[in-house]
Structure 1
Amino acid sequence: MKRRTIVSGGIGAVVLAAAAIGLSVGLPTGTPEATAETKPQKTAKVTKQNLSDTETKNGTLGYGTSTKLNNKVNGTFTWVPVAGATIERGQTLYKVDDLPVVLFYGTLPFYRPLSAGMEGADVKQFTDNLKALGYSGFTTSAIKKWQKKLGLPETGVVEPGRVVFAAEPIRIATVSANVGDNAGPGEVGTYTATKRVITTTIEVNDARLAKVKEKVRVTLPDNKVIDGTIDSVRTVIQQNQQGEPVTRIEVTISLGDAKVDFDQASVKIAFTASTRPNVLTVPVAALLALREGGYGVEVIADGGARQIVAVTTGLFAGGRVEVSGNGISDGQTVGMPS
């Protein structure tokens, strides 16, 4: 819940109840606080605590968003991976005419033939991968050695489609091609990242909950609770039940080194938008609307004397509200208007 200075619902009822019984709660400057004229049916304690704006949302444990694995080589599929396989830099993704298509790391698609002497961001990306695999650099000799190791024709030229670029190691999610199928431009399957993550979508008015690098608490189906970190936040357009487009926020949460026994599962995510440490709090229902504006609480002394004390409200969360002001302290008893 957000920090606010008005109270809805329950406080409106308090105002009406106060008017019905003729309760005066004015606090003139320089005079003692007004005394309540009726005895509340219930009481509560002023407590000092950490008050957190926390909300729980449903989420899905899995491997995140899938990406199409597209083929650009003509021929016949002679080997394809199995779903769940992990592929790293330099390893074979699939084979066409018994020649491998391999994975390199990068974000720029392979869009032109490459050979020694060329320049550009794509050349640098390819060169970085060759060096990471132990080759000297982007030279004709290095390219031919790499081709020989893979069983490719040693031409010194790398054709588009022989390498697929992804930002990191990948996990094969689905495979749509079969051995013996004709290979041509099209989808071989899909892939995801290799680490399990949690994804959820929340309403736009809950945007305060989703801040990159903030911590969350995740409850798994076996009730085990683990820590997570918000890794990314993005706006997405989805359709509601009427088929109309609505804007929502998609949140991806990383789990670090947390041990998780589930491959995929529905989970609960506790988001904490803000925390106020060591503040005085009372139940929201203890607030009284003062005649001259603002709010107060009815403080009940040990001997039974009662007085209305003006308070400043802060964070509202979990049915309690942060309060401060002269005459309010930890452990006091306050009235709860019926």
Structure 2
Amino acid sequence: MTAPDETHERGAVGPGGESSGTLEVRAPGTVAAEPEPDSAVPAGSGDHGGPAVPAGEPPADGRKRRPLRTSLIVLTAIVVAAAAGLAASGVLGGGDDDTSRAPTGPSATAKVKRTTLTDSETVAGTIGYGEAATVQAVAPGGSAQGGAGGSGGSGILTWLPEAGATIERGENVYSVNQQKTPLLYGDIPFYRTMRSGDSGSDVKILEANLKALGYDGFTADSTYNAATAAAVEEWQDDLNREETGEVDPGDAVVADGARKVSKVTGSTGTSPSGPLLSWTATERVVTVDLEAQYEDLVEVGTKAEVTLPDGSTVQGTVTDVGAPSNVADDQSADAGAAGGEGDQEATLPVELKVKDQKGLGDYQAASVDVTLQSESRKNVLAVPVNALVARDGGGYALEVVKPSAPHGVEYVPVELGIFADSMVEVSGAGITEGTVVGVAK
């Protein structure tokens, strides 16, 4: 690359390191603004330095590629600032009376370093107890009492828990005619009257709970026999129920664990009709309405860092990814009435479990930041993003400091990998750990 000595056009680095007709990014001695931390992959580069993916086409593995984010604008800003710096300094040449001197090397440098890069995305989340479920009184035989058009079940509600109460296995959920209806742990509700001679998964749930509550004299399997019936009679006596040795659907409420009462809608002294209360899990979780463009970042088991309002962090694990829901669908009627289009992106409900509940402090409901890791690359060579120089015809190069080269630098083409924390993975002939390269200052 020769020093400018006539009137020159702005030159970018050509494929062989020569000057071409258009400045795409910066040249030696250029001063440019430092990019923001959230740097994105420049258009035309592959995820790991491979062939570019044409705009608008999905990647070969069929997963939707996330769009370039606002950090790409920062890279463009570096280009503009670099061009302005070159013109102001006279490096590009002036006119017939050009007296500018050739650059002698970059004004700022950095070393290629070997490191681990982790690409991530931070999204908004909320601490809470998860989605609330309602509890209805169940009549013998299995139907909810007081359904649509119903007049309510027999009996009178004589006890209900208070909002905020925690109910564990064997504890009372509600009472009708002073008969307790306990909580049992399981994954299916009782749907039939169970008696001696029956077998099935509901029998297995019943017997497992009786064992956990301290009742014995039977084998906890999936068969209801005379020994099971005897244990049931003892259990019914403790609940102030008639000792029948049989279990009706309304004799217990089944849930997958302890529950925290969030709201009480029933009233004592009335018939048990309609929803009696709503409850949630007892452990706090983090929920995220994730934009569909980021769906490739999450699956069950994905780890994430949760940043609390006080700046402390805890680790979370994705336990559930729901089906996409379009906000516009939910609001279409309102938007139509208001004259709006209701055109909003689809979101995925994502739930994360936080094992360290103490790490969540006293927060019961709070907004948090959730950082999802999309990709991590270990032991790679990386440089600051603002060390990249665009090449004429596509691709990028590094301005390698070489005292023996003309003007002290040589432009070396590189392939790009992932971007993270203002750094970019690079590879190319002669690029090794410790190589000194120019950067925009």
1:43-73 per-residue CA deviation (whole Å, 9 max, x = no partner) reads 4443332211122111111111111112114
Given that 2:135 and 2:278 are in contact with CA atoms closer than 8 Å, whether structure 1 keeps it comes out as: yes
Partner of 1:148: 237
Which of the residues 258, 277, 300 maps onto 1:189? 277
SS, match of residue 198 in structure 1: strand
Partner of 1:132: 212
**Aligned AA (2:369):** K
SS, match of residue 143 in structure 1: helix
More strand by share: 1
SS, match of residue 115 in structure 1: coil
Partner of 1:27: none
Deviation at 1:337, TM superposition (A): 6.2
SS, match of residue 310 in structure 2: coil
Tell whether 2:427 aligns with 1:324: yes
TM-score of the superposition, structure 2-length normalised? 0.66
User: Aligned in 2, Cα 1:216/1:302: closer, same or farther, shift over 3 Å?
Assistant: farther
Which of the residues 129, 139, 149 maps onto 1:63? 129
CA distance in 2, matches of 1:103, 1:134: 15
Runs of 4+ in 1 over 6 A off after TM superposition: 36-39
Partner of 1:90: 170
TM-score of the superposition, structure 1-length normalised? 0.84
Partner of 1:29: none
SS, match of residue 260 in structure 2: strand
Report % sequence identity: 39
Gaps of 5+ in 2: 1-39, 42-46, 53-67, 92-101, 140-152, 219-223, 332-340
CA distance in 1, matches of 2:77, 2:305: 34
User: Aligned in 2, Cα 1:247/1:311: closer, same or farther, shift over 3 Å?
Assistant: same
User: Aligned in 2, Cα 1:237/1:100: closer, same or farther, shift over 3 Å?
Assistant: same
Which of the residues 220, 230, 236 maps onto 2:324? 236
Partner of 1:104: 184
CA distance in 2, matches of 1:300, 1:112: 81
1:30-41 equivalences under 5 Å are: none
Partner of 2:355: 256
Given that 1:83 and 1:175 are in contact with CA atoms closer than 8 Å, whether structure 2 keeps it comes out as: yes
Deviation at 1:182, TM superposition (A): 1.9
1:164-243 equivalences under 5 Å are: 164-184=253-273, 186-240=274-328, 242-243=341-342
1:88-141 per-residue CA deviation (whole Å, 9 max, x = no partner) reads 111110111111111111111221111111122222222222222233344321
Larger mean Cα displacement after TM superposition, 171-180 or 211-220: 211-220
Larger mean Cα displacement after TM superposition, 276-285 or 239-248: 239-248
Deviation at 1:12, TM superposition (A): 10
SS, match of residue 181 in structure 2: strand
Which of the residues 347, 368, 376 maps onto 1:267? 368
Partner of 1:296: 397
CA distance in 2, matches of 1:308, 1:326: 11
Which of the residues 117, 121, 126 maps onto 1:51? 117
**Aligned AA (1:312):** E
1:269-318 per-residue CA deviation (whole Å, 9 max, x = no partner) reads 12222222232222333323334653211112367611011212111223
CA distance in 2, matches of 1:277, 1:91: 51
Partner of 1:120: 200
Given that 2:113 and 2:433 are in contact with CA atoms closer than 8 Å, whether structure 1 keeps it comes out as: yes
User: Aligned in 2, Cα 1:274/1:288: closer, same or farther, shift over 3 Å?
Assistant: same
**Aligned AA (2:346):** T
CA distance in 1, matches of 2:204, 2:260: 25
CA distance in 2, matches of 1:95, 1:158: 16
Given that 2:292 and 2:324 are in contact with CA atoms closer than 8 Å, whether structure 1 keeps it comes out as: no
CA distance in 2, matches of 1:294, 1:83: 62
Larger mean Cα displacement after TM superposition, 108-117 or 38-47: 38-47
Given that 2:158 and 2:268 are in contact with CA atoms closer than 8 Å, whether structure 1 keeps it comes out as: yes
**Aligned AA (2:125):** G
User: Aligned in 2, Cα 1:244/1:178: closer, same or farther, shift over 3 Å?
Assistant: farther
SS, match of residue 285 in structure 1: helix
1:240-259 per-residue CA deviation (whole Å, 9 max, x = no partner) reads 47545753222211111341
Partner of 1:286: 387
Aligned length: 322
Deviation at 1:40, TM superposition (A): 5.7
Which of the residues 308, 313, 319 maps onto 2:416? 313
Gaps of 5+ in 1: 24-35
Larger mean Cα displacement after TM superposition, 303-312 or 49-58: 303-312
* Max Rg structure: 2
Partner of 2:96: none
Which of the residues 250, 255, 266 maps onto 1:161? 250
CA distance in 1, matches of 2:244, 2:257: 28
**Aligned AA (1:60):** T
The one of the two structures with greater contact order (alpha-carbon pairs below 8 A, sep at least 6) is 1
Deviation at 1:194, TM superposition (A): 1.0
1:63-82 equivalences under 5 Å are: 63-73=129-139, 74=153, 75-82=155-162
